[in-house]
Structures are given as C-alpha cells and as structure tokens.
Amino acid sequence: MIIEPKLCATSSIPFVTIGDEGFFKDEEAEILFSTHTIFRIERIERIQDDHTDKLYEVTLTLTESSDNEFNKLTKHIREEVTSAVTREWSQLGEILIKLGEPAKAEHLYKILLEKESSSKDQAEYNHQLGRTYYFLGKYTEALLFLNKGLEMRKTILPPDGPDLAKSYNSIGTVHADMGEYSKALSSYERSLEIKKISLPPNHPDLAMSYNNIGTVYADMGEYSKALSSHERSLEIKKIVLPSNHPDLAASYNNIGAVYKNMGEYSRALSSYERSLEIKKISLPPNHPDLAMSYNNIGNVYDDMGEYSKALSSYERSLEIKK
C-alpha cells in the first residue's frame, strides 16, 4: 500500500495509526482508514504458494480528490446510478436482474404493475417487465411489454423524452437477439435520434447507442458502417471515461472484430492488443475477458498464417481458463 504523507495531511478522510494497538503490535505498520476511502489498484501479482494458487499481492495507492481519472470515473458512476429508476421498488428489480435473478424481478414487477395507478409508473413497470422477460429469454413476451410501455410513454412524454430513447433501445436489443436486424437497427437509430436532442454531445448513453448500431451492422455484414459506429462510440468513451476503463477495452475489441471480418488483420491485431492492454490494467490476471482477448489475438495470427504466435496466444488463453 502506497500512501503519500502529504495527501493524508490535506485529506478530509479520517484515519488513525493502530500499529501499537493491533494484535501484531510493532510487527505491522497498521493504519485504519474510514470505509469510504478510495484507493487506486496499481498492480495485482500472484504470490507463489505450495498450497494454493489463489493468493495475490495487490498494490494500492491512496487517491486524492483532485485525481482527474478518479473524478471522471466518479462522475460516470453517478450518472449511471441517477439514470436508473428512482423508485426504490423498481431499483430492487434492477438489482435482482443484475444478480442473475430475473424470475424474482418478474414476480416483483407484476405485483408493482397490478397495484400502480399512475400512467407514468405503469409505463415504467411495463418497460421493466419487458426487460426482465428479455433476460429470461422470453423474447415474445419482452416485446409485448416493451411496446406497451413505449405506447404509454408516447402519450405522456414529449417526443424527445429520454425514457422514449430507453424504450426504443430495449426493443432494439430484443430484435437484435432474435436476428431481426433491420427492426433492431430501426429501433436503435430512433433511440439515438432522441438522445442527440435530449443529451449533451458526449454523453455515455450516446456511446452505447453507437456501439449497439455498430454491432447490428456487423451482424448484417455491413462492416464499413459498423466500423464507423464503433469508432464514434470509442471517441465519446475516450472523452468521458478514464483511459483504463473496461468499456474502452470493449470498444477496441469490437473494432478489432470488424477489421478481422474485413480481412484487415494488422489493424485487427492492433485493436485487439490495445483492448488486452487495458484489460491487463483494469482486470484481475485470471479474468475470463483476458482469455477472450488472447483467443481473439490467436485467431488473427491464425488467419495471418503465423501459427507459432497463434499457438502461443491460444495457450495463454487456455491457461487463464484453467
């Protein structure tokens, strides 16, 4: 743990040295920080041990309020949180979905929908129930409730209402997973049109829309359009996110995939390797996304006929998966 003394002297975060009070007395220089203290993860290294391979040494550095990347990340997280449904019960449904419990979220939203009389909230719960069915793999039911929520929102919201953009985006996602790409594209583009009116030009939600559109174009085989959308998404993310944020890695990965499908292997390799660099910084050393990156790089080397390099990447991917 790296702690710059001058940060402690100027920080408003309380801390106390407990080396003399702890169990190990003078053997460890223990400092107790309050629970909301923020540290930057600088490095994660495995500790060699004969009994387990799950011991790691994590190097932490105390951050300060003027840390630019920390402030960018904080702003991004705050926007994510405040853009979620503000009602407590609906937030609970969101949490259940994120925890992999969509069936429980379905039960909750059905109860909320039955008891709610407000048109605005009914529209919201129809939308959330539709999203829940999407996560359950019930696409027909998902479209039914998402479209119902959309129609209700159209009657109570202005044409550029942000919630309309959310409805179109969710409907597009269902169509994309059903392989109905023209319908998905139409919904995603309508969502983007609304966001362009209602949001600042570099808002993260715009990056998400460009990413979704790029993914659909790629699935349709229209790679030049896919590349243009993914690059626009990346441009926005570079402005609003820290340089080592995983969402940047995802964009580079998507761009790499498009270049690979276009047969531009050197550019694909460059994008995949940039994605891997970010993942190495932002993720634990055995994270599945690292394995995916090594596998993607291996695929490109394989297509280029550089089989020894491909084998090396595949083996590294396999090591992580083990």
For residue 46, being part of any structural domain is answered with: yes
For residue 260, being part of any structural domain is answered with: yes
Domain containing 127: what range? 86-156
For residue 186, being part of any structural domain is answered with: yes
* The last residue of a domain, from among 217, 234, 251: 234
User: Does 189 score more than 80 pLDDT?
Assistant: yes
Q: Are residues 49 and 35 in the same domain?
A: yes
User: Does 77 score more than 80 pLDDT?
Assistant: no
User: Does 194 score more than 70 pLDDT?
Assistant: yes
* The last residue of a domain, from among 203, 234, 265: 234
For residue 254, being part of any structural domain is answered with: yes
pLDDT of residue 18: 74
Q: Are residues 29 and 100 in the same domain?
A: no
pLDDT of residue 84: 46
4 falls in which pLDDT band (50, 70, 90)?
Answer: low
Q: Are residues 176 and 150 in the same domain?
A: no
Count of domains forming the chain: 4
For residue 22, being part of any structural domain is answered with: yes
Task: Give percent of the chain above pLDDT 70.
Answer: 87
User: Does 76 score more than 90 pLDDT?
Assistant: no
- pTM for the full model? 0.73
Q: Are residues 174 and 228 in the same domain?
A: yes
Q: Are residues 213 and 140 in the same domain?
A: no
Mean pLDDT in residue range 52-64: 80
Q: Are residues 152 and 165 in the same domain?
A: no
Q: Are residues 249 and 289 in the same domain?
A: yes
For residue 40, being part of any structural domain is answered with: yes
Secondary structure of the chain in the HEC alphabet?
CECCHHHHHHCCCCEEECCCCCCCHHHCCCEEECCCCCEEEEEEEECCCCCCCCCEEEEEEECCCCCHHHHHHHHHHHHHHHHCCCCHHHHHHHHHHHCCCHHHHHHHHHHHHHHCCCHHHHHHHHHHHHHHHHHCCCHHHHHHHHHHHHHHHHHHCCCCCHHHHHHHHHHHHHHHHCCCHHHHHHHHHHHHHHHHHHCCCCCHHHHHHHHHHHHHHHHCCCHHHHHHHHHHHHHHHHHHCCCCCHHHHHHHHHHHHHHHHHCCHHHHHHHHHHHHHHHHHHCCCCCHHHHHHHHHHHHHHHHHCCHHHHHHHHHHHHHHHC
pLDDT of residue 158: 94
* The last residue of a domain, from among 213, 234, 255: 234
260-275 per-position pLDDT tens digit: 999 999 999 999 999 9
- In CATH, what number is assigned to the domain containing residue 283? 1.25.40.10
Q: Are residues 254 and 320 in the same domain?
A: yes
Among 12-21, 191-200, 289-298, which is the least confidently predicted range? 12-21
For residue 80, being part of any structural domain is answered with: no
For residue 81, being part of any structural domain is answered with: no
